[in-house]
Amino acid sequence: IKGLTHLQELYIFENPLTKETRNFLKELEKEKKLLLYLDSY
């Protein structure tokens, strides 16, 4: 997450994430893995 201090990031991730945010992060992870997978070719 851009523009956040380390403490703010910790605070955000320490708190229970909303379902939407969790799903969003999951999708982000999937995309990242997909990109890494495609990059490996």
pLDDT in tens, 14-37: 566 677 787 888 888 888 888 888
pTM: 0.45
Give residue 24's pLDDT: 85
What are phi and psi for residue 16, nearest 5 degrees?
A: -60, 125
Q: How confident is the model at residue 13 (pLDDT cuts 50, 70, 90)?
A: low
Give residue 10's pLDDT: 64
DSSP string spanning 1-41?
A: -TT--HHHHHHHHHSPPPHHHHHHHHHHHHHHHHHHHHHT-
Give residue 9's pLDDT: 66
